[in-house]
Homo-oligomer: A and B are copies of this chain.
Amino acid sequence: MNELSLITAIRRWSAPKAAAPGLVAGIGDDCAIIRPRPSEDLLFTTDFLIEDVHFTRAEYTGIDTGWKALARGLSDIAAMGGDARYALVSLALAPWCCHNYVRDLYKGLNQLAGRHGVNIIGGDVTKTEKLSIDTIVIGAVPRGKALRRSGAKPGDVIYVSGALGRAAVKNYRDRPAPRLELGRKLRGKATACMDLSDGLAMDLHRLAMESGVAAELDGPLPSAPNATLEQALFGGEDYELLCTLPAGRRAPLELTRVGRIVEGKPGRVTLAGESLHPRGWDPLA
């Protein structure tokens, strides 16, 4: 396996299957080229997926790994209410990575990309000790309509989608399904939104901090079957959405009420009156 032959194969695996509106040039030049639509803002996110930090060879197939590498970024696009359009994939291969493993990675990437109309338009290939995949996702949203973390107001109701702690119960081995459809429904409705990647306690702290408000969790939490309270509050990688809506506004059915926004120390989160420490999945801790 050399760089030239691998890039040729990756280009074949990444050939646009569907219509790719706005794509002028994908893999094969120094840069990818996109022609943006004047009515849209563009969204950018980048996420690492690293062997023995975010996944292990023993527990993840190549297809699972590729899927998860893209899911993280798609979830960020969902959190802003965007459509996902393009991805770039930077690969640093470990010594054990063979051609067939990389092909499986791209199978996983393409399976998830295909569900959401995403085209892989570029990347980089190199080597290192532990397989490292950095995935960049480019999304689009009608001009000025991106959902932000910073708009929550006292009185707003706090919601989450899905079940909390599901990934923790499954030891983070399932294939996340990014909430792109729900994110789009929340455009023009939610006052603030983000995805749950590091656990409810940490992520709600961040949303409240950016909004300059405090948050009270009060409802029964929609925990996943067999999830402990610890897993529901501090387990990461659920890739569900956390959002706030004005009191009285009807919420999409996918959402469950978990509390409300209040005045107070920015970023403070309480559960039944007790302060929650903003801890969660922290790779640097």
Shortest CB distance A244–B (Å): 14
So how many copies of this chain end up in the complex? Answer: 2
Q: Which chain A residues numbered 225 to 263 have a C-beta less than 8 Å away from chain B?
A: none
Q: Is the CB of A122 within 8 A of B44?
A: yes
Interface string of A192-235 (1 = CB under 8 A from B): 00110010001000000010000000000000000000000000
Given contacts A25-B148, A122-B46, contact A30 B80 (CB under 8 A): yes
Q: Is the CB of B25 within 8 A of A36?
A: no
Q: Is the CB of B136 within 8 A of A46?
A: yes
Interface string of A134-156 (1 = CB under 8 A from B): 10101101010010111000000
Q: Which chain A residues numbered 259 to 285 have a C-beta less than 8 Å away from chain B?
A: 278, 282-285
Q: Is the CB of B30 within 8 A of A194?
A: yes
Shortest CB distance A135–B (Å): 9
Given contacts A130-B129, A278-B4, contact A124 B31 (CB under 8 A): no
Q: How far, in whole Å, are A283 and B132 apart by their CA atoms in the complex?
A: 15
Q: Does A45 contact B (CB under 8 A)?
A: yes
Q: Which candidate, A60-68, A86-94, A109-117, is the interface stretch facing chain B?
A: A86-94
Q: Does A169 contact B (CB under 8 A)?
A: no
Shortest CB distance A132–B (Å): 5
Given contacts A128-B132, A284-B2, contact A148 B29 (CB under 8 A): yes
- A176 cross-chain contacts in B, Cβ below 8 A: none
Q: Does A190 contact B (CB under 8 A)?
A: no
Q: Which 5 A-B pairs have the closest CB atoms?
A: A36-B36, A38-B38, A134-B134, A31-B43, A30-B79
Of the A-B pairs whose beta carbons lie under 8 Å apart in the complex, a sample of 27, sorted by A's number, is A2-B285, A3-B284, A3-B285, A4-B278, A28-B149, A29-B80, A29-B148, A29-B210, A30-B76, A30-B77, A31-B44, A31-B139, A32-B44, A33-B141, A36-B36, A36-B42, A45-B122, A46-B90, A47-B90, A48-B126, A48-B134, A50-B127, A90-B134, A127-B284, A128-B128, A128-B130, A129-B130
